[in-house]
Amino acid sequence: MRRGVHLRFSLPFFISLFMVSVGCAPGASQSGVSGAVGPSSQGNTTGESPSLSGSQDQEAQNLPGVAIWPFSNGGSFGSDPWDYEALGIGLQQMLITELSLNSGLRLVERSRIREIIEELELGQSGYVDPETTANVGKLVQARYMIVGSFIDANGTIRLDARVDDVETGEILVETATKVEDDREKLLDMVVELGVKIVEAVDLPPLPERIVEERQALDYPAEAIHLYSRALRREERGDREGMADLLRQLTSDFPQHIEGKQMLEQYGIGVPSNPKASIRRTP
């Protein structure tokens, strides 16, 4: 495994960057399917009193914070290659979605991780050392940083993940959480990876019922490919390209919940006359 480059920044630099970061959203929503894929809402829109909202925010802050790095390509090959840069972002968001369904965890939004990566010019590929993840984790107020990678070998995909402890800078789990299967079962693999991660670190588990519901969803490989490409367009600020891909995704695969939510969050709207929803038998 290639050694990461240890970055050195002065203490005042990290203090100033931390002061900027704490003003942003601390994590992903705990209700429904989280994505942190749309523009942040402004103010209290829940209809609750400010004191109640503040109490809930404090409770969320007390939960174990988890941040996920964009997945890196570990050396994919084959005659039918995907857009692997986009897939790394898609897998990152998919794992955020799975773990954010767990009410015992607080997920950091993908946009916050991207901001820090861009600010520190870290790049989104290759090996990321624990010292770097510890520094970034402190900035986004996360206790655990998950660093994942994938290999697509002629349509057979393997997912690996390690978990770094932000407080100690140590690797708690390294490549012990890995899954491998056909590309068409990629959603199942991400769900399984999420289950293995919380088990390995002894974090609160996701209820079995929710795991089964997620595994019952029918997300073909092409749907995940479109979703990943839309996320990459979003990160690049290409709203038109993102909207086109999301419209195609929700038209061809109306069962893709996150695609619909992303359209709604951006106020784009779901295409008319979508196909009937398709689900697998659990």
Question: Are 134 and 242 contained in the same domain?
Answer: no
Q: Does 210 map to a domain?
A: yes
Question: Are 210 and 258 contained in the same domain?
Answer: no
What's the pLDDT score for residue 178? Answer: 77
Question: Are 134 and 100 contained in the same domain?
Answer: yes
Question: Are 205 and 251 contained in the same domain?
Answer: no
What's the pLDDT score for residue 51? Answer: 52
Question: Are 265 and 245 contained in the same domain?
Answer: yes
Question: Are 222 and 241 contained in the same domain?
Answer: yes
Are 156 and 181 in contact by the 8 Å Cβ rule? The answer is: yes
Successive 10-residue mean pLDDT values, the chain, 282 residues: 40 43 39 38 40 60 91 91 94 97 95 91 74 91 94 94 91 78 94 92 91 93 97 95 96 95 86 47 37
Question: Are 129 and 166 contained in the same domain?
Answer: yes
Strands 156-165 and 171-182: antiparallel
Question: Are 70 and 207 contained in the same domain?
Answer: yes
In degrees to the nearest 10, what's the CA dihedral of 7, 128, 23, 138? -80
Q: Does 1 map to a domain?
A: no
Domain boundary among 217, 237, 259: 217
Q: What domain range includes position 257?
A: 218-271
Are 212 and 220 in contact by the 8 Å Cβ rule? The answer is: no
Question: Are 211 and 224 contained in the same domain?
Answer: no
Q: Does 41 map to a domain?
A: no
Domains identified in the chain, total number: 2
Q: Does 206 map to a domain?
A: yes
Question: Are 223 and 210 contained in the same domain?
Answer: no
Largest Cα–Cα distance in the chain?
57
What's the pLDDT score for residue 173? Answer: 81
**The whole model's pTM is what?**
0.76
What's the pLDDT score for residue 128? Answer: 85
Q: Does 249 map to a domain?
A: yes
Domain boundary among 217, 242, 260: 217
Q: Does 16 map to a domain?
A: no
Question: Are 66 and 138 contained in the same domain?
Answer: yes
What's the pLDDT score for residue 45? Answer: 35
| Model pLDDT for residues 55-107, shown as the tens digit of each residue | 666 666 789 999 999 999 999 998 888 999 999 999 999 999 999 999 999 99
Domain boundary among 196, 217, 238: 217
Question: Are 223 and 183 contained in the same domain?
Answer: no
